[in-house]
Amino acid sequence: MLNVEDWAEIRRLRRSESLPISEIARVLGISWNTVKSALASDGPPRYQRVAIGSVVDEAEPRIRELLAAYPRMPATVIAERIDWAYSIRTLCARVRELRPVYLPPDPASRTTYVAGEIAVPRVLVWDGAGAIGLWRGTPARTHRGMGAGGPNCRCTRSAGRALPGRRSWCVGPWTSSGRRGPGQRW
């Protein structure tokens, strides 16, 4: 089978160097039919294995029926109920794929996060258009709002004042020094 590097080289030799198909075949040591098919294809070659069924496919409707009635039923019990005669690992893998569909939602995990966005913003600021979260380490700009003080955030001395009872919070115009901390995303 032709690999991606050879496919790219065939196309480069034909388009950039304007070599004939027979010359490309001779240089790369491949058949000219392979060169013609590589030039005619729209994308690089990919190996696609023909999907064949699994022994679990014929039992899946019954598994779904049991999981709909009892979503936490162990795979071993499901195997007993459907008279499973094959490997338990094959059945366990399919049950592991199907079970989340039938489990009720966990009330403690209603929020979903994208990787890198779990951190809480240091401040909530208003810049005219509405409230935006300003992350620690954002390039220096002056904003009006309320925020948590930290090593990278500070109130301007002229107009900022500390909130009563909160040493690390300030209200008023403030700036961020723009220093970045490790692992922060913005």
What is the model's pLDDT at position 48? 83
What is the model's pLDDT at position 67? 95
What is the model's pLDDT at position 156? 44
What is the model's pLDDT at position 58? 92
Which segments in the chain show pLDDT lower than 50? 121, 123, 125-127, 130-135, 138-145, 148-170, 174-178, 180, 184-186
Alpha-carbon span 110 to 102, nearest angstrom: 16
What is the model's pLDDT at position 34? 92
What is the model's pLDDT at position 89? 95
CB 138 within 8 A of CB 102: no
Predicted model pTM: 0.38
What is the model's pLDDT at position 42? 87
CB 181 within 8 A of CB 137: yes
- Domain residue extents for the chain: 4-40, 57-106, 123-176
What is the model's pLDDT at position 104? 87
Query: What is the gyration radius of the CA atoms in the chain, in angstroms?
Result: 31
What is the model's pLDDT at position 113? 66
How many CB atoms sit inside 10 A of residue 163's CB? 11
